[in-house]
Structures are given as C-alpha cells and as structure tokens.
C-alpha cells in the first residue's frame, strides 16, 4: 500500500505506474481516492471544529450556571446536544470513508523501481546472468518422476488415495535428499548471520491482507473452514507478520531471519497440476529468508539476497540463471523482483526455483511495522527470497546429477546430511 500523500501530491506518477503494470482498469481508482479523501478530510475538519466548539460551549455553560443564568445555560446545552448528534453522524461517515479509501488503496499497485524493465508478462522478463555451465549430456536424461521411481523414491498413487491429486510421498533416499537440501540451505543462511526460525503454519486474515494482494490470496491460499485462519503459501507470510504492529529500535536493524516451513498452495488456473511429476503440487517445503531494514538499505539487501540463492545452487552443482521480472510480472506490492531459474538438461531450458523481492514499505504500512531512531519513526522496508524450495530444487538436482547408468551423484555439500553417501544407485 503506497502513501496516500503521494496520491494527493503526485497522482500522475501513480497513474503512470499503473500504466507501466498494464492495469489500466485501475486508473479510475486514483481519482476515486482523491475524491473520497477530499470528503474525508473536510469531514474531519468539521468534526474537529465541532469538538472544539463543544469544549468552548461547555466552559460557557459552567460560567452561566455559576452566575445562576440557568435559562441561557440550558439554551447552550441544547446547542451542544445538536452539535453532538451532528458530530456522531460525521464520525460514522468518516469511518465509512476511511474503510472505503483503505480498500481502494490496497488495490493500487506499489510504485516500481526505475530499473524494472517494462513488459506485459513473464515472457518479457530479462535475463541478467548465468552461473555454471548448462550442460546436456550425450545420454537421454529421464523424466524426474522416472529417476525417483528407479530408486523407489516417489509414490503419487498412494497419495492420491489419501489426499487426492497434487500430493505425493517421498521415500527412502529421495526423502533424505529432499531433507538434506533443506538442511543445507538452512545452515548456509545461518552461516551468513541469519537467525533461524520455524514459524506458525497458519495465519489470520489481517496478516494475509498485510503481506499480499486480494487476488494473490484467492488464487493461492487455503482457508480453514469456520475459523479466521489460512494455511501459509510461504513462510514469508508468518515471518513478516511476526512484526505486525511493532515499533522496532533502529539500532537492531537490519533484522535477518531464515525460516523453514511446509507451504500449501491451490495451484489452480492455467498451469494446473501435474499428473506424474512434481513441478506443480499442493504441498512442498521451503527454506526462506526475510530482511527488515532501513529504506536506504533495501536495494543493497535485495542484491545480497538473490546472490545467496545462486551460491546455494552452485554448491549443489546445479547451473542457474537470474531473470529480472518485468513490470507486468510484478505482484502489486513488489517494487522489484528477480527469479532464480535452474537448468534442466532434460528439457534443455531453465525453470523457476526461487524468487527474490523487495516490497518497499508496502507490507510495513499494511501491518503497521515501524522503526524508531534519532530522526523519528518511519516504516521499514521488507524483503523476501527463496533460499531453496523442494521438490523443485530436488528435480534440478536429480537432472543435473544423474549418470548414464542411472546412479545419482550426491553433491559434496549434501554428503554430511546423507550419512556420507556419495552416490545413490537405482534398485529397479
């Protein structure tokens, strides 16, 4: 949510930003906010004037009563009663307008960074850099579900019976690899000075509304029936929500945390679910990182954070590249974002395994997260980034480490988490 003062002072900038995001249907919202805000401010002034008059008249009544001028005092009392009734009506309307303005403001996209490339959708994202050599071996790389099947590592049929489509069992060494990757990502981030956390896996609607747009919430999140609780789609939601309504001592900044959680997503829409594989599923696990920092430091942290993810994948012998997300591919709260994509030697192309974003002070405004320093109180900037999410990362590891004989090389970084195993061999 942007600062309403920006709409008051520079509505054309806000409209131009909406156009850059190809959301022209929202242009009218700017003018609507200006109109409603003008009415809201006039009512506030009128209410303030009535409150000031009430104080003055109350003093006058006291004076008249002391002077035994009861009739005159009663006449002023009647005026106070009339003013109070008018003030009550104003307060009701003020509250209605405030709620309407807030709802509209939450639909107006955040101001994107000047460096963001302009484009309509993800097909116009811009490659930044490749890391590692994207090799295609001389033998045919099996589909990841077949690699997992060869080591008795995947059972979607049983998961279909227990939970339905979009769920899975990971078994044996496949499950160990999955957990080893998550654990390695956790320990790598701890080594970078991040505090490790395991957050709540359910959050209330006020936190959901604070960390994401309504459209994202409807498309992604599962609601717990009969309760004001949602299953998290990523631990960033809980981790940012942890600081809701807090005033943080500036001396403790930046706050750097890395969190583990399962993630639950509807995965509806055009992409849908995969029948055999694990590219799109309802449940996965992820190691995440968040940073809360001073506004002037957020872009530096943004660049540090995505580089952490690149380093993790390089250490797992997985070639990756980074893509700058264009304006039309940015969620409404994001100022700037990039995707980390892993190389798929089977498909001979890259696919997304993580995303890094800075959201400016949008989440902090929605959730009331501020810092207090020598120059006063201000809203913090929030950032989030995927360290590693599995099974996406597991797919990349399998494809880039499978050998022609079907065996799978265990990257050196993961061997301590795998009991020293250097290679996994097929058993069927």
CATH number, domain with residue 65: 1.10.287.40
Q: What is the mean pLDDT of the chain?
A: 92
- Are both 78 and 128 inside the same structural domain? no
Per-residue confidence (pLDDT) for residue 4, from 0 to 100: 94
Per-residue confidence (pLDDT) for residue 123, from 0 to 100: 94
Instruction: Identify the band that residue 267 occupies on the pLDDT scale cut at 50, 70 and 90.
Output: confident
Per-residue confidence (pLDDT) for residue 273, from 0 to 100: 59
Tens of pLDDT, residues 186-206:
999 999 999 999 999 999 999
Which CATH number characterizes residue 172's domain? 3.30.930.10
Per-residue confidence (pLDDT) for residue 215, from 0 to 100: 72
> What's the full length of the chain, in residues?
428
Angle at 350 between CA 345 and CA 356, to 5 degrees: 140
Please compute the mean of the pLDDT values over residues 346-366 and round it to a whole number.
96
Instruction: Identify the band that residue 79 occupies on the pLDDT scale cut at 50, 70 and 90.
Output: confident
Please give the Cα distance from 213 to 25 (Å, whole number). Answer: 16
- Are both 292 and 354 inside the same structural domain? yes
- Are both 88 and 135 inside the same structural domain? no
Question: Would you say the pTM of this structure is higher than 0.85?
Answer: yes
Per-residue confidence (pLDDT) for residue 402, from 0 to 100: 97
Please compute the mean of the pLDDT values over residues 360-364 and round it to a whole number.
96
Residue 296 or residue 83, greater confidence: 296
- Are both 37 and 154 inside the same structural domain? no
- Are both 171 and 273 inside the same structural domain? yes
Please compute the mean of the pLDDT values over residues 87-98 and round it to a whole number.
90
Residue 242 sits at φ, ψ, to 5 deg, of: -55, -30
Q: Report the domain count for the chain.
A: 2
- Cβ-contact 200, 234 below 8 angstroms: no
Please give the Cα distance from 345 to 255 (Å, whole number). Answer: 38
Single out the residue in 73, 105, 137 at which a domain terminates.
105
- Are both 262 and 405 inside the same structural domain? yes
Residue 151 sits at φ, ψ, to 5 deg, of: -110, 20
- Are both 149 and 193 inside the same structural domain? yes
Per-residue confidence (pLDDT) for residue 271, from 0 to 100: 54
- Are both 152 and 97 inside the same structural domain? no
Please compute the mean of the pLDDT values over residues 76-94 and round it to a whole number.
83
Enter the tokens of residue 186: 């956790």
Is the pLDDT reported for residue 233 higher than 60? yes
- Are both 73 and 181 inside the same structural domain? no
Q: In 31-159, which ranges are E strands?
A: 126-131, 154-155
Instruction: Identify the band that residue 220 occupies on the pLDDT scale cut at 50, 70 and 90.
Output: confident
Does 117 fall in a domain? Answer: no
Tens of pLDDT, residues 375-418:
899 999 999 999 999 999 999 999 999 999 999 999 999 999 99
Per-residue confidence (pLDDT) for residue 268, from 0 to 100: 58
Instruction: Identify the band that residue 270 occupies on the pLDDT scale cut at 50, 70 and 90.
Output: very low
- Are both 262 and 366 inside the same structural domain? yes
Containing domain of residue 78, as a range? 4-105
Per-residue confidence (pLDDT) for residue 213, from 0 to 100: 76
Residue 107 sits at φ, ψ, to 5 deg, of: -95, -15
Which residue from 5, 1, 29 is spatially nearest to 15, judged by alpha carbons?
29
- Are both 201 and 236 inside the same structural domain? yes
Instruction: Identify the band that residue 131 occupies on the pLDDT scale cut at 50, 70 and 90.
Output: very high
Q: Residue 182: is it exposed, middle or buried by C-beta count within 10 angstroms (0-12/13-18/19+)? A: buried
Q: Return the residue matching tokens 């160990």.
A: 176
Tens of pLDDT, residues 1-37:
899 999 999 999 999 999 999 999 999 999 999 999 9
Is the pLDDT reported for residue 81 higher than 80? no
Enter the tokens of residue 403: 């050998």
Q: How far is CA 122 from CA 24, 49, 166, 404, in A?
A: 18, 52, 24, 34
């Amino acid at each position: 949510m942007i600062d309403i003062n920006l709409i008051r002072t520079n509505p054309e900038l806000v409209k131009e930003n909406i156009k850059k995001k190809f959301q022209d249907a929202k242009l009218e919202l700017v003018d609507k906010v200006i109109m409603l805000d003008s009415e809201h401010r006039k009512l506030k002034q009128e209410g303030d004037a009535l409150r000031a008059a009430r104080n003055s008249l109350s003093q006058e009544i006291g004076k008249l009563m002391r002077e035994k001028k009861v009739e005159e005092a009663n006449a002023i009392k009647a005026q106070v009663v009339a003013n109070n009734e008018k003030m009550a009506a104003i307060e009701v309307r003020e509250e209605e307008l405030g709620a309407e303005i807030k709802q509209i403001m939450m639909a107006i996209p955040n101001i994107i960074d000047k460096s963001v490339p302009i484009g309509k959708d993800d097909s116009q994202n811009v490659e930044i850099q490749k890391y590692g050599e994207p090799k295609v071996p001389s033998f045919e790389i099996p589909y990841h579900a077949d690699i997992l099947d060869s080591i008795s590592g995947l059972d979607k049929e049983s998961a279909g019976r227990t939970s339905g489509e979009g769920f899975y069992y990971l078994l044996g060494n496949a499950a160990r690899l999955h957990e080893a990757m998550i654990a390695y990502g956790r320990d790598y981030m701890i080594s970078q000075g991040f505090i490790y956390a395991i957050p709540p896996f359910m959050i209330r609607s006020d936190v959901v509304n604070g960390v994401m747009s309504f459209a994202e919430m409807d498309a992604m999140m599962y609601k717990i029936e009969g309760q004001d609780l949602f299953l998290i789609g990523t631990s960033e939601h809980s981790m940012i929500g942890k600081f809701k309504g807090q005033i943080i001592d500036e001396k403790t900044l930046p706050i750097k945390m890395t969190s583990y959680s399962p993630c639950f997503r509807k995965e509806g829409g055009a992409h849908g679910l995969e029948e055999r594989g694990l590219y799109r599923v309802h449940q996965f696990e992820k190691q995440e990182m968040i940073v809360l920092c001073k506004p002037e430091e957020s872009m530096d942290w943004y660049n540090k954070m995505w580089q952490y993810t690149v380093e993790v994948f390089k250490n797992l012998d997985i070639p990756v590249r980074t893509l700058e997300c264009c304006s039309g591919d940015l969620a409404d709260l994001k100022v700037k974002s990039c995707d980390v994509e892993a190389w798929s030697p089977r498909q001979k192309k890259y696919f997304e395994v993580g995303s890094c974003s800075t959201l400016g002070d949008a989440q902090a405004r929605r959730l009331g997260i501020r810092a207090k320093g020598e120059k006063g109180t201000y809203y913090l900037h929030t950032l989030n980034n995927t360290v590693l999410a599995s099974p996406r990362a597991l797919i990349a590891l399998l494809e880039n480490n499978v050998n022609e004989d079907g065996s799978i090389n265990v990257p050196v970084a993961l061997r301590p988490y795998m009991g020293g195993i250097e290679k996994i061999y097929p058993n069927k």
